[in-house]
Amino acid sequence: MESVTGSSSLYVRSDTPEGSQDTIPSSPPIFNAPQILSSPPRTKTKKPPPVTPRSFKRLSGNTLGTLTHRYDYGNAWRDEVSDFYSLADDLHQCSYKDQRGERLTLPFCTVSCHTNSLVAIGDEEGGVRLLDSAKDAKPGFSKTYLSFQPHTNSIMDLEFSSDDRLLATASGDQTSRIIDMTTQTQIYCLSKHTSSVKRVQFQPASNNNVVATCSRDGSVNIWDLRYKAFEKPTMQLRCSLTSDVDDSARASTKMKYPQVSNSIWPAHAERARSKTGSEAEALARRDDVSVTSIAFLHPGRENLFVTCGESNACVRLWDLRTTYSLRRKTPVPLAITRQPESHEKYRQFGLTSMAFSGNGSRLYTLCRDGSVYAYSTSHLTLGSCPEMTPSSSSFKRFPSDEAKPGLGPLYGFRHPHLQVATFFVKIAVRRAVNDESEMLAVGSSDNCAIVFPTDERYLPSPFIAASSSLSSSTGIVNNASNQTFSRPLHGHNLRSSHSSSVGLSGRLEDTIPIYKHGAALIEGHKKEVSGVSWTYGGELITVSDDLHARCWRKGPAARDLRIGGDGEGRRWRCGWADVKDSGDDEDE
C-alpha cells in the first residue's frame, strides 16, 4: 500500500472519491490590488500580505492553511501502531505430513478471507492450510483448522474470491488452480505459463469469472472462466520411482482447462531501439523480465490493471479489453509511470509487490531499494485518457504505438528495519473499517514486519520542512524527526535520506518526500518475513522463513510487553511494536 501528497498540480486528494480530483490553479494565488479612488488625494496602496500557508494551494487540493491544524497531530501516529502485539498462542508452526511422518515446511504466502476470520497459508510443499485468527476461536491460531494439497511444488500466491467460495493459487509448477472451498476440489487449471506463476487475482465486479496471472516468464494472462474449457484428468507427478507415496491411493479427478482470453508477452521488456551487435542480442534476451505483481483498479475502472517487474520501479497500466497478442510486435501498455529520479541517477531497482488503498486513490509499491512508494491512481497516465474515466466504455481495440507517460511517486515510506533482499517480501493494506484507520503492512528481510499508518494528516508538508523562513513566519512547529524532505523547493539543495535497507537507499538523493513514521513488530520472527495479510477482523498475519506464521493483534498487552521487561519469561515467544506511545512517555 497513503500526510501531504506530492508536488504536482495533478495530484488528487486521498479522501476524495476515486476518479475525482480537485481543481488546482496553474499559478500562485493572485492578490487583488486595492481599488484606486477617483478623488485627488492618493491613498497609498498596501503591499500584498506576507506569504502564509493559506496563500499556497495544497498540492492535493486543499490550502496549506489546513496544514496548521495537521501539525497539531504531532506524534499521534504512534498511537495508531503502538498497540500491536503477539503472544505465544498466536504462533503457528508450519509442518507437512506424509507417509514418512510429519516434518516442517516453509510458508511462502498468506491471504485472508473476506467474510470470516479464516486465513490461508501456502507452503513450499504445495499445501494450503486454513487457520482461524479469531481471538477466542477453537482450536486457536496455533492449530490447523483445515489443510489440503493442490500442488506438488511451492505455492507463490493465494487469492480468495469476493465471496470466499473460490480460492486461486499460483505455483512454482507453472500453473494456477481454482479450488472450490466447499469441497476443496480443484475445478480449473490455468496452465499456459512457462515458468513460476508469481501472482494471481480475481477481477473486481466480474462475479469472480475473470482471473489474471503473471509469471516469471514475463507474461500476463487473462482467463475468463466462462469460456469453453477442455476437461482433462488431473496431472500427477511422481518425484522418483522409489517414492514412498502411493499415488494410486489418490482419487482420479478431472479438471477444466480454460483457454487464455488475452495474453501480454513480453509485458515488461524494453522496446527495441536502434542497437546492433551484442547490444541488440542482450536486449532481446531481456524479453523474459519477470512480472512480479499485478493488481486491478477498483470497481468502475475494473477493466484496467497495473503490473510491475523485476527490472525497474516503473508501473505499467493496461486495459484488458485491448488485444496485445500481436505477432512480431512488443505489447505497448496504456501508460508507464516514471521511476523515482534517484533511480535514474544511481541505479534501477525492481518492485516486489503492489496494493491499492481502500478507496483506490493511492497505489503502494514495495521497491527493492527498501522503500514503499505511493502513486496517485488518477495520474498513472497523464493527459487525455478516456479509459481512465470511471465506467467508461471507450477503449482501443489495439494498443497505441507509444505508451503515455504517467506520474512518478508522490512520496515514500522508509524505516531502519525495512530491508528488501528478495522478491518474496510482500505488502498488504488494511482498509479503514469502523474506528480502525487504514494501515500498510510490509514484510522485511530484517526479521520483522513493519506497519505504516497511511492517513495523510500525519504527513507534514514538504513546503514547511524545506523552508525554515515559512515555518518561523507562521509559528508552525516542524516535528520532522520521523521524515526526510529532500525535494528541491525554491532553490534548496538536495538532501540524501538515509535507510539501512541493504545499504542502498542511504546513497540515494531523493526528490520526493520520504517519511519514516512506521513501527517495526519485533521479536516475533527469527528470519525474513515474506508474506503479510490483514484479516477480516483487522489482525495482521505474517509468515517467515523461520517456518512460523504469526497473528498480531491490538491491545494494551503491547505496552505491557514493551516496558515490562523479560522477568520470569513473560516475553517468551511474544512480539510487540517497537515504538513508544503517549502512555510510555508519561511513565518516563
The answer, yes or no, to whether residue 269 has pLDDT greater than 80, is: yes
In a domain, 184, yes or no: yes
Whether 182 shows a pLDDT value over 80: the answer reads yes
Indicate the residue among 504, 523, 542 that finishes a domain. 523
Residues 331 and 477 in one domain: yes
* Residues 492-542: tens digit of each pLDDT: 333 333 344 445 555 578 899 999 999 999 999 999 999 999 999 999 999
Residue 31 resides in a domain: no
Residue 574 lies in a domain: no
- Quote the CA–CA distance of 417 and 422 in Å, as a whole number: 15
Whether pLDDT at 177 is above 90: yes
How many other C-beta atoms can be found within 10 angstroms of the C-beta atom of residue 574? 20
Sheet strands side by side (includes 260-264) = 197-202, 210-215, 220-224, 260-264
- How confident is the model at residue 2, as a pLDDT? 42
308, part of any domain: yes
> Do residue 483 and residue 533 come from a single domain?
no
Least confident piece of the model among 171-175, 271-275, 434-438:
271-275
Same-domain pairing of 213 and 129? yes
Amino acid at 243: S
What average pLDDT does the segment 11-22 reach?
43
- Is pLDDT of 584 > 90? no
Same domain, 333 and 417: yes
Evaluate if residue 68 carries a pLDDT over 50. Answer: no
* 390: Cα separation from own chain's centroid: 22
- The reply to whether 432 and 317 lie within a common domain is yes
pLDDT of res. 75: 78
The number of angstroms, rounded, from the C-alpha of 178 to the middle of its chain's C-alpha atoms is: 23
- How much of the chain, in percent, has pLDDT values that exceed 90? 59
Amino acid at 345: K
Same domain, 429 and 302: yes
Q: Is residue 34 included in any domain, yes or no? A: no
Say which residue, 557 or 387, is predicted with more confidence.
Answer: 557
Domain range holding 487? 50-82+293-422+425-523
pLDDT surpassing 50 at residue 60? no
Please determine, for residue 191, whether its predicted confidence score (pLDDT) is greater than 50: yes
Contact 5, 454 (CB under 8 A): no
Q: What per-residue confidence (pLDDT) applies to 254?
A: 84
- The pLDDT of residue 392 is 74
pLDDT of residue 532: 99
Q: Which residues is 375 bridged to in the sheet?
A: 363
- CA 582 to CA 587: how far, in whole Å? 9
Residues 221, 331, single domain; the answer is no
Helix, strand or coil, per DSSP, at residue 421:
coil
CATH number, position 115 = 2.130.10.10
Tell me, yes or no, whether 334 lies in a domain.
yes
| 380 & 479 share domain | yes
Mean pLDDT, range 435-462, rounded to an integer: 92
Domains held by the chain: number: 2
Strand ordering across the sheet containing 128-132: 107-112, 118-123, 128-132, 146-148
More confident: 476 or 148: 148
Predicted local confidence at residue 587, as pLDDT: 54
Mean pLDDT of 21-45: 42
In this structure, the answer to whether residues 123 and 164 fall within a common structural domain is yes
**449 or 35, greater pLDDT:** 449
Of 500, 523, 546, which residue constitutes the final position of a domain? 523
Average pLDDT for 245-272: 76
Which domain-ending residue is among 501, 523, 545? 523
Residue 449 covered by a domain: yes
b/e per residue 341-351 (b: at least 16 CB within 10 A): bbbeeeebbbb
Name, of 42-46, 110-114, 508-512, the range with top average pLDDT. Answer: 110-114
DSSP assignment string, 383-394: S--GGGSTT---
* Region 382-402 average pLDDT: 83
Average pLDDT over residues 193-214: 97
Query: Which pLDDT value is given to residue 36?
Result: 36
Q: Of 211, 336, 215, which is closest to residue 264 (Cα–Cα)?
A: 215
Sign of CA dihedral 413, 419, 423, 424: negative
The reply to whether 392 and 467 lie within a common domain is: yes
Over range 191-220, report the average pLDDT: 97
CB 366 within 8 A of CB 360: no
Q: Residue 454's domain is classified under what CATH number? A: 2.40.128.630
Predicted confidence at residue 585, as pLDDT, reads 53
The three-state secondary structure class of 190 is: strand
pLDDT value at position 137? Answer: 87
Cell of 314: 516503473
- Domain check: are 188 and 153 in the same one? yes
pLDDT in tens, 74-84: 678 999 999 99
pLDDT of residue 206: 93
Q: Between these two residues, 42 and 386, which has the higher pLDDT value?
A: 386
Q: Would you say residue 121 lies in a domain? A: yes
Query: Exposed (0-12), middle (13-18) or buried (19+): which is 492, by Cβ within 10 Å?
Result: middle
pLDDT in the model for residue 483: 54
pLDDT of the residue at 58: 41
Mean pLDDT over all residues of the chain? 80
Residues 326, 439, single domain; the answer is yes
Q: For residue 583, what pLDDT is reported?
A: 62
Whether the predicted pLDDT of 323 surpasses 60: yes
Span 421-438, mean pLDDT? 94
